[in-house]
Amino acid sequence: MVALRVWLSDPSPSSRGQARLGQFWLGWLRLRRNPLAVSGLAIVGALLVIAAFAPVLAPHDPLAQDLSRRLLPPFTPGNLLGTDDFGRDILSRIITGSRITLYIVGLVAVTAPFLGLLVGTVAGYFGGWTDAVLMRITDIFLAFPRLILALALVAVLGPGIENAVLAIAVTAWPPYARVARAETLTVRNSDYIAAVRLQGAGVPRIILGHVVPTCLPSVIIRVTLDMAGVILIAAGLGFLGLGVQPPLPEWGLMISSGRKYLFEQWWVSTMPGLAIFIVSLGFNLLGDGLRDVLDPKSAPK
Amino acid sequence: MSLIEIENLTVTFRSNGQTVRAVEGVSLKVRAQESYGLVGESGSGKSTILRAICGLAPISGGVIRLGGKTIPTPRGRDFARLVQMVFQDPYASLHPRHTIDRTLSEPLAIHGIPDSDTRVMRALDDVGLPRSFRFRYPHQLSGGQRQRVAIARALMLEPGILLLDEPTSALDASVQAEVLNLLNRLRVERGLTFLMVSHDLAVIDHMCDRVLVMQNGRAVEELAREELAGAKMTTAYARSLFDASADRMLGDVEGPHA
Amino acid sequence: MSLLSVKNLRVTFQTETGPVEAVRGVSFSLGRERLGIVGESGSGKTMTGRALLRLIRPPGKIEADEMIFDGQDLMAASERQMRALRGRRIAMVMQDPKFSLNPVMTVGAQLTEGLRQRDRLGRDDARKRALTALDAVQIRDPERVMAAYPHELSGGMGQRVMIAMMLIPEPDLLIADEPTSALDVTVQAEVLSILDALVRDRGMGLIFISHDLRLVARFCDRVMVMYKGRVVEELAAADLMAAQHPYTRGLLNCLPRIGGPRGPLPGLDRTGDWAE
C-alpha cells in the first residue's frame, strides 16, 4: 500500500500511465478533504454496489406477488420497508430498481455529453456560419421544456425503457453543447492551440486532442449534476406510465402506483421517493465536489 | 540573399465594426543565420508581425517571402518545418493536460517522423532539462522550465527560422539569463535565424545583430547593434526608449561608457 | 521614530501535500522613508506586503512575534480595527489596474465610494476631493476620466487613477506591489516620478515591492533582498553596487545590459547555504 502511494506521488513519473494515475491520485486527495463530496461519492458508490449485487441483496423476489400480504407497513418482520398493493416487498423492488436507474443514467451519461461535446466544440472552433447553424439547432432543442419533449418523443416512439432513454438523451445534450462551446471559445485563441496549428496539425487532431480535453472537466461536472435531473425525468415518465412499464420496479413507476394509497399507506410511494431523493442528492454533492477538484482555477500554478 | 523578406506589410483587425491597423507598411529583411530584433512598446505591432508570418493574423496588404518564395495561404505542413515560434507566456503555451512527452512528440506524430522516443530524450538534453521530467505535466514545472520545453518543442521539427515573441519577459531575471544563454547557444549550434520581439532594449541588444524600432504599427528606425549601444539613434522616439532604459546601461550610476 | 516594526513574520499555507511556508521569519522596521523589497517569484515579497494588511485568507496563516504600526499591534487587532486601518492609514497599490479597478464602475464612482461610505462626505464634496486627487497625479482632463470606465483607460492612466484612489484618504504608509511592472517603459518613468513627488510631499512611508533590483535602488532609500521567504540582505540603496551577498550580486549581474559583452550572461549560483 505504501509502495503504491509512493509510486503514485512520484514527482517524476516514468510513463504516461503513471503520470495520469498520479494526477488522479492528487485529485482524489483533494476530493477527500471535502466531507460533502465524500458523502456524495459514498452514495453513488453504494448505488453502484447495490445495483451490481441486486439479486443477492434483495431479500425477496421483486416481482413475486402475495395478495395475502398486501400493504403491510415498514418494519413488518420480513419486509423492512413494507409491501405494496400487490404484496411485493418494497425493499427488494427498490434494490432491483436501482439497476434500472443505473441503466438509464448510464446510457444517458454516455450519449448526451458525447453528442453535446461534438456539436459544441465544432461550433466554437469554426465560428461563423457553422457556429450559427449549430447553435440555432441547439437553441431549438433547449426551447422545449425537457419533460414535455421527452413525453412527446415517447408518445411517438411508444413506451419502454430504451425509448425513455432515447427521449431523455435527446433533451439532455443541448446544455453540454453550450458548455463545450463556451470552453472552446475561451481556449480557441490560446497559445498552445496556436502552437499546434503552427506545427501543421489538422482540425480533427486539434479538436479531439486539444480542445476536448480542456472541455472535459466542465462536461464531467455538468454530467454529475445533471444525473439528478435525469433520474427525475425518468421517474416522471415512469409516473406517467410512458417510460418503463409495469411490473418492472422502476422507482418513478412505484411512486405512481402508490398514489392511490398515499394518505394511509404512505410508504408505498414514499420509500421509492426517498430513494430518488438520496441518489439525486448524492450525485449533486459529488458534482459540487468534483467542481472544486477539476476547476483549473484551484489547481496549483 | 535575405532569408526573410517582409515588404510593406499591413495587418488590419476588424471587430464590432471597428477597424484597427495593428501593422502599417512595415518592411524588413533578415539575412540567413542573423538575429533580428523588433522592439517597441505595447500596441507597436511587433508581436502582430510574428503572428502574421505564422498565419495567425490576417494580412491585408504587403508580401512576406521566405527564402525568396512568397509564403502560401494556408501555410501548409512544409511551412512548419521551416518556421516555428516560441510564445511569450510559458503558462499558456503548453497544453495543461498533456505531459511534456506528449507535447514534444506531437509535432513528430503530425509529420510522421519516426524514432520519437530518442528524439524526445535528445530534445530534453539539448535544452538542459533532466530526462525525468518527461512525463510531468506543465503545472509541475517552473516558468523557466516550461519555456525550455517550449523551445524544445519549437526545435523538434528542426526549422531554420525561429520566431521569438518576448520569450523571457514573463520570467525572473536569473531565469531569463539562463534562457537567453540557451537560445544563443542553440542558435550557434544549429545555425538558426532568429526574429525576436521584445520591449526590453537590453535583451535585444544582447541577443540581436540588428533591431527595428516600432511604434503604433509603424517602423520608426532600424539600428545596428553598435548604433544602439553607442546611442546613435536619429529619431526622437528611439531616443526616448533608450533613455527610459537608463538603468540597463553598463556601468549603472555613471551612465553608458562610450 | 518607527512607523512600522515587524519581527519574525511567518506566512504558512496548508495544502493537500503539506504546509507551504511563503514567508519564513522576516524582520524589518520602517520610518517615514522608502524601503524596497526585492525578490524573484516565490520569494515571498508579495505575501509580506499582504500580511502587513492582514489580507491573507485561510488556509493561509500569519504569525509574527511583533507587527506594530504606529503603536497599534496589528496581530492583535480585530477585523474591524483592521478595516479602519486599511485604506485610511495603510494603503496598497497593486500591479495591474486592469485587475485592481472594478470594471463595472466608473472611475468617479470608485474614487468617491470610499469618501462617501467611510468618511460620510456629501456627493459634491466627494467629487471635488476626487477631482483634486486626479489633478495631483497629473491627469489633464479629470472630468473625462471621472466618467470613464477602467477599460477605457490606458495602462499608465489606470495606474495613476489607482494611485489617486489610494492617496485620497492621505494614508501614512503606502505599500506598492510592483506598481509599474505592467506598464510600458516610457510610462513607467512618468508614473514613478508622480509617485515620488507624492510620497515626498506627504511625508509617507513607502514599501516598494518589485522584482527589479536596479529600479528599486534608484527609487528607494533602503533595499531588502528576499529569497524563498527569507531576507537575504538588507542595505542602503546607495551601497547597492558594494553588496556582499552572492544572491544580490548574482541578481545585479545576471541582467543583460546595453553595450555589455555578448558572452553568456552570468547565472545565479544557488548552491550556497542561503539557498535553503
Q: What is the ipTM of this complex?
A: 0.87
Q: What is the pLDDT of residue B255?
A: 28
Q: What is the dihedral of CA B21, B26, B30, B36, to 10 degrees?
A: -60
State how far residue A173 is from chain B, nearest Cα, in angstroms. 25
Helix (H) or strand (E) holding C108: helix C107-117
- Asked if the Cβ–Cβ distance from A29 to C15 is below 8 Å, we say no
Contact state of B205 with C241 under an 8 Å Cβ cutoff: no
Q: Which residues does residue B30 pair with via DSSP β-bridges, in sequence order?
A: B4
In chain C, which residues have their Cβ closer than 8 Å to the Cβ of B249? 257-259
pLDDT for B223 equals 92
Measure CB to CB from residue B244 to each of C186, C211, C256 and give the nearest one: C186
Categorize the per-residue pLDDT at B254 as very low, low, confident or very high, splitting at 50, 70 and 90. Answer: very low
What is the rounded CA–CA span in Å between residue C23 and residue C25? 6
Contact A190 B92 (CB under 8 A): yes
Q: CB–CB of A16 and B56 under 8 A? A: no
> A26 CB near a chain C CB, below 8 Å?
yes
Rounded to a whole number of angstroms, the distance from the CA of A31 to the nearest CA of chain C is 10
pLDDT at C15: 79
- Cβ pair A33:C15 closer than 8 A: no
A11–C contact, CB cutoff 8 A: no
Paired residues of B37 in beta bridges: B196, B211
The list of chain C residues with pLDDT below 50 reads: none
**Contact residues on chain C for B215, CB-CB shorter than 8 A:** none
Which stretches does DSSP call E strand in A59-170? none
Q: Mean pLDDT, to the nearest integer, of B164-181?
A: 90
Collect all residues of chain A within an 8 Å Cβ-Cβ radius of residue C16. 26, 29-30, 33
Nearest residue on chain B to A9, alpha-carbon basis: B136
Which pLDDT does position B253 carry in this prediction? 41
| Architecture of the C4-89+173-275 domain | 3-Layer(aba) Sandwich (3.40)
Tell me which long-range contacts B101-105 makes (C-beta under 8 A, separation of at least 24).
B101/A16, B101/B134, B101/B135, B102/A16, B103/B138, B103/B149, B103/B153, B104/B149, B104/B152, B104/B153, B104/B156
A189 touches chain B (CB under 8 A): no
CB contact under 8 A, C16 and A30: yes
The partner residues of A289 in beta bridges, in order of sequence, read none
pLDDT of res. B119 = 94
C155 and B CB contact within 8 Å: yes
The shortest C-alpha distance from B176 to chain A (Å) reads: 19
For an interface test with A, the pick among B95, B102, B108 (most A C-beta atoms closer than 10 Å) comes out as B95
Angle CA B88–B90–B96, to nearest 5:
135
Q: Which CATH class is domain A25-56+100-247+271-298?
A: mainly alpha
The distance of C18 to chain A (nearest Cα, Å) reads 12
Q: Which pLDDT value is given to residue C71?
A: 87
A30 touches chain B (CB under 8 A): no
Which residues of chain C make contact with A29, given a CB cutoff of 8 A?
16-17
Determine the average pLDDT of the residues in B54-79: 89
A53, with CB counted inside 10 A (0-12, 13-18, 19+), is: exposed
pLDDT tens for each residue of B20-32: 888 999 999 999 9
Give the best residue of A23, A186, A192 to mutate against chain B (max B CB count within 10 A): A192
From B123's Cα to the closest Cα of chain C, the distance in A is: 21
**A30 inside 8 A of chain C by CB:** yes
3-class DSSP state for residue C45? helix
> Is B253's CB within 8 Å of C241's CB?
yes
Q: Letter for the amino acid at A217?
A: P
Q: Which of C155, C254, C258 sits opposite B173 (nearest CB)?
A: C254
pLDDT score at A300: 40
| pLDDT value of residue A161 | 81
**Alpha helix segments (H runs only) across B95-171:** 100-111, 116-126, 143-155
Please check whether residue C174 is in contact with residue C206, taking contact to mean a CB–CB distance below 8 angstroms.
yes
The confidence score (pLDDT) of residue C193 equals 86
C185 part of contact set with chain B, CB < 8 Å: yes
Position B248 pLDDT exceeds 70 = no
Q: Which of A50-59, A225-234, C144-153 has the lowest mean pLDDT?
A: A225-234
Distance CA B163, CA B84 (A): 6
Does the CB of C16 have a partner CB in chain A at under 8 Å?
Answer: yes
Considering only CB atoms, B54 lies closest to which of A15, A19, A198, namely A198
Please give the pLDDT value at position B1: 62
Q: CATH 3.40.50.300: does it fit domain B2-254?
A: yes
| Spans of all domains in chain C | 4-89+173-275, 99-170
Q: Which chain B residues touch C185 with a CB distance below 8 Å?
A: 41, 199-201, 241, 244-245
Q: How confident is the model at residue A298 (pLDDT cuts 50, 70, 90)?
A: very low
pLDDT in tens, A83-130: 888 888 899 999 999 998 888 888 898 899 999 999 999 999 999 999
For chain B, the distance separating the N- and C-terminal CA atoms, rounded to the nearest angstrom, is 33
Task: Provide CB contacts within 8 A for A106, sequence distance 6+.
Answer: none
Q: Give me the residue from B93, B96, B135 closest to A19, CB to CB.
A: B135
CA distance to partner chain C, nearest, from residue B209 (Å): 11
Which residues from chain A sit within 8 angstroms of residue B139, using beta carbons?
299-301
Cell 546595453 maps to which residue?
C258
User: Which residue does chain A place closest to B110, by CA atoms?
Assistant: A201
Q: Where are the domains of chain A?
A: 25-56+100-247+271-298
* Alpha-carbon C137 to chain mean position: 17
Pairing of strands C4-15, C66-69: antiparallel
- The rounded distance, in Å, linking the Cα atoms of A11 and A26 is 11
CB-CB neighbors (< 8 A) of A300 in chain C: 15
Residue type at position A266: W
Structure letter (DSSP) for residue C210: E
pTM of the model: 0.84
Contact: B249, C258; criterion CB under 8 Å: yes
Alpha carbons C231 and C26: distance in angstroms, whole number: 6
Q: Which residues of chain A neighbour B140 with C-beta distances below 8 Å?
A: 11
Cβ contact, residue pair C256, B199, below 8 Å: no
* B46-49 contact pairs (CB < 8 A, 24+): B46/B197, B46/B214, B47/B88, B47/B165, B47/B166, B47/B197, B48/B11, B48/B22, B48/B23, B48/B217, B49/B6, B49/B9, B49/B11, B49/B23, B49/B197
In B, which residues are within 8 Å of A190 by CB distance? Answer: 92
Residues of chain A contacting B135 with CB distance shorter than 8 Å: 12-16, 18-19
Strand order in the sheet with B59-66: B18-31, B2-15, B59-66, B69-70
Distance CA B141, CA C19 (A): 19
Residue A190 grid cell: 490560446
Q: In the predicted model, is pLDDT for residue B16 greater than 80?
A: no
Answer yes or no: do C256 and B202 touch at CB < 8 A: yes
Report the alpha-carbon distance of residue A169 to residue A150 in Å, rounded: 9
Residue B256's pLDDT band (cuts 50, 70, 90): very low
Q: Please report residues of A whose CB lies closer than 8 A to that of B88.
A: 191
- Please state the φ and ψ torsions of residue C265, each to the nearest 5 degrees: -70, 140
Give the pLDDT score at C174.
92
Q: Pick the residue from chain A with its C-alpha nearest to B78.
A: A200
Asked whether the beta carbons of residue C213 and residue B173 sit closer than 8 angstroms, the reply is yes
**Residue A301 with chain B: CB contacts under 8 Å:** 91, 139
Measure the CA dihedral B122/B127/B133/B135, to 10°: -60
**Which pLDDT score is estimated for C1?**
58
Chain B residues whose CB is inside 8 A of the C239 CB are none
Those chains having 3 or more beta-carbon pairs within 8 angstroms of chain C are A, B
Q: Give the C-alpha separation, C227 to C231, whole Å.
A: 6
